[in-house]
Amino acid sequence: MTRPNFLFIITDQHRADYLGCAGHPVLKTPHIDQLAATGTRFEQFHIATPVCMPNRASLLTGRYPSVHGLRQNGEHLTYRANTFVDVLAANGYSTASIGKSHVQPMTQHPAEQRVDPAALGLIRDAWKDDAGDYGHETPERHEGPHKYEMPLPYYGYRQIELVGNHGDLADAHYLHWLRAHSPKADEWRDRKNQLPHDYKCPQAFRTPIPEELYSTAFIRDKAIAYLEEMKGSSQPFFAFVSFPDPHHPFTPPGRYWDMYKPQDFEVRLPWESHRNPTPPMRFLREQQQSGQRNALGQEAFVAEPDEICEAMALTCGMIAMIDDAVGALVSHLKASGLYENTVIIFNSDHGDYLGDFGLLLKGAMPLRSINRVPFIWSDPSRRTPVVSQALASTVDLAPTILARADAKPYHGIQGKSLLANMQGSPVLRDQLLIEHQDAFKRYGMARYPMIRTLVTPEWRYSVWRSENWGELYDVRNDPDEARNLWDEPEFNHVRLELGERLAQEMLEQVDQSPHARRRA
C-alpha cells in the first residue's frame, strides 16, 4: 500500500464563514473552493482553544491545552511532548514546517506577573525548570546578519523555514530573506513609510512591501521548493504550510489592498443586535463610548461600522492572496505528479469577531466566529465533495492524519479519527469541549478569565471561573448567539443537564499518559 503525502495548509485568525465555499456573499476563493469540491468540508469544526499557541500545540499533539501544558500564549510546548509529526518521521516521512510555527514565544514582551515574587521561596514553582532552550522563535535569535539555524528535529520537523509575527512586521527567516532581496526591507517595515490611504480602521496599514516579497509569497515559494525537492523521492512527505494572514494588522500588499471595497460589506450583527450582552462585552462597549478603547493591541475592541467594513475588505484581500498561493501549490502538485498521492488539508487556528456585535479581532468571548474555523480534507482516495455536520475539533487532526498514514498513535491522544466522516458518516460525537485560559486580566475582571465551553448540536454552554453569570445559547433557533438564556428560568433544566455533561466531558479528557507500569 502506497502511503500518502500530506500538504497541510493553515491560516491564522480565519473564521469559518470567510470562504466562497462556505457561502460568503462577497469573498471569492476559487482555489480553496476547489479543495472543497474535491473533498470533505466540515461545517462544525471547532478549535480546542481560541488562542494561537495553545491551539497549535493541540494540533501537533492531539491533546487539550490543560493536558499538553501550553495553556496560554507566551508559554511553550515542552520538548518532552510527542507530536504526530514525530510519529510520521519515525514511520519514514520527510517532514517540513514552512511559515508560522508559534509553539514557542515569538515576541520580546515579558509575561504579566501573576504571583508576588516576595511571597515565593527559593523553590518558586510546582515544576522544576525545564533545561530546554525555548527561545528559538523570538526576534533576537533572528536579528544577526546570517540566517539562524533552528535545532532539528523541531517538534518532529526535519526542515523548517520560519515566519514570526504578522502582516508587514513578519520576521524570523522571512525577514532575513527579505533583507537579502532588497536593501529597502527595513524601510518598508517602518510604519512611518506606509503608503497613503484613507482608511480609519486603527489596524489598517498599507504596506509598501511588494506582493512578490510579502510573507505569503515567501511561504508559497519555499513550499513549492520543498515540493520540487520531494518530486523525485520515494519517501512520503508531510509539509506544514502556515500563513500568518489574515491575522491583524490588516496589511494586504499591492493589488490585494483594494481588491475588495468596504462599501461592499455590511455589519450584519451590530452591537444592538445582542439582546443581553455579557459583562465583558459591556465593558468593551463602555471603553468605546468613553474613548478609552485599546484598538492598536492584540485584544478585542468595539469598532465603528466603517472601521469594521474596512477590516472585512482588507481581510478578504489577505485571504485572496492566500487563495492564489493555494492555487499555485496545487498546480505544482499536479505538474510534478504528486497530486494523485497527496492529501491536501486546509484549516485555521482560530477565528475573528470581524464585526459580530461590533467586536473586532479576538478575545475570550467564546462566540462561534472565534470557535469555528475552516477545515477541508481533499483525499486522493476519494476526490468527491462531502459536507459534514459532525462535531469536530483541532484535537482530531493528529489521530486522523496518523490513521490515514497507517501509523499507530501514541498513548494519550485525546482526539478521534475523522476518516469515517470523510466517507459520509454523520456522527463523531454528541458534544465537544473548548478550553480557554487567558494570559492577562481583561474586561475589568479581578482575575484572568478561565472558561470551559460545551458545544452540542443544539446548545453552546460556557462557564466563566469565579463569575455569577454564564452563557447558554440555543444555537439551532439562535445561530448568531444573540440571546443569552442563562438567567431565564424556563431553561434552568438545560443549564443543569449541560453542566453535568460538561463535568463528565472534562473528566473524560484528563491526561491518561504515561501508561501505568505496575498496578501499585
Q: Are 347 and 55 in contact (CB under 8 A)?
A: no
Q: Residue 164's pLDDT band (boundaries 50, 70, 90)?
A: very high
What local confidence, expressed as pLDDT, does residue 68 receive?
96
What local confidence, expressed as pLDDT, does residue 17 receive?
98
What local confidence, expressed as pLDDT, does residue 264 receive?
97
What local confidence, expressed as pLDDT, does residue 108 receive?
77
Predicted TM-score of the model (pTM): 0.96
Query: For 5-108+134-430, which CATH class?
Result: alpha beta
What local confidence, expressed as pLDDT, does residue 232 receive?
86
Lowest pLDDT segment from 82-86, 161-165, 446-450 = 446-450
Write out the three cell numbers for 168: 508587514
* Alpha-carbon torsion (287, 291, 292, 293), positive or negative: positive
Burial 480-514 (b: 16+ CB within 10 A, else e): bbeebbbeeeeeeebbeebeebbeebeeebeeeee
What local confidence, expressed as pLDDT, does residue 57 receive?
97
What local confidence, expressed as pLDDT, does residue 215 receive?
98
Q: Residue 464's pLDDT band (boundaries 50, 70, 90)?
A: very high
CA–CA separation, 236 and 93 (whole Å): 5
pLDDT, tens only, 266-324: 999 999 999 999 999 999 999 999 999 999 988 999 999 999 999 999 999 999 999 99
Residue 178 backbone zone (phi > 0: left; psi -120 to 50: alpha; other: beta): alpha
Domain extent listing, the chain: 5-108+134-430
Quick one: average pLDDT of 73-102? 96
Residue with cell 454528541: 430
Write out the three cell numbers for 386: 462531502
Residue with cell 485571504: 319
Write out the three cell numbers for 332: 505544482
What local confidence, expressed as pLDDT, does residue 128 receive?
84
Q: Residue 473's pLDDT band (boundaries 50, 70, 90)?
A: very high
Q: Residue 503's pLDDT band (boundaries 50, 70, 90)?
A: very high
Write out the three cell numbers for 159: 526542515
What local confidence, expressed as pLDDT, does residue 518 receive?
87
Collapsing DSSP states into helix, strand and coil, what is residue 121? coil
Collapsing DSSP states into helix, strand and coil, what is residue 91? coil
pLDDT above 90 for 437:
yes
What local confidence, expressed as pLDDT, does residue 87 receive?
98
pLDDT above 70 for 112:
no
Cβ-based burial of 280 (10 A; exposed 0-12, middle 13-18, buried ≥19): buried
CA–CA separation, 175 and 170 (whole Å): 7
**Stated length of the chain:** 520
Question: Dmax over Cα atoms in the chain, in whole Å?
Answer: 70
pLDDT, tens only, 37-51: 999 999 999 999 999
- Beta-bridge partners for 46: 372, 393
* Alpha-carbon torsion (220, 222, 226, 228), positive or negative: positive
What local confidence, expressed as pLDDT, does residue 127 receive?
83
What local confidence, expressed as pLDDT, does residue 120 receive?
79
What local confidence, expressed as pLDDT, does residue 123 receive?
87
Burial 379-391 (b: 16+ CB within 10 A, else e): bbeeeeeeebebb
pLDDT, tens only, 253-267: 999 999 999 999 999
What percent of the chain is modeled with pLDDT above 90?
88
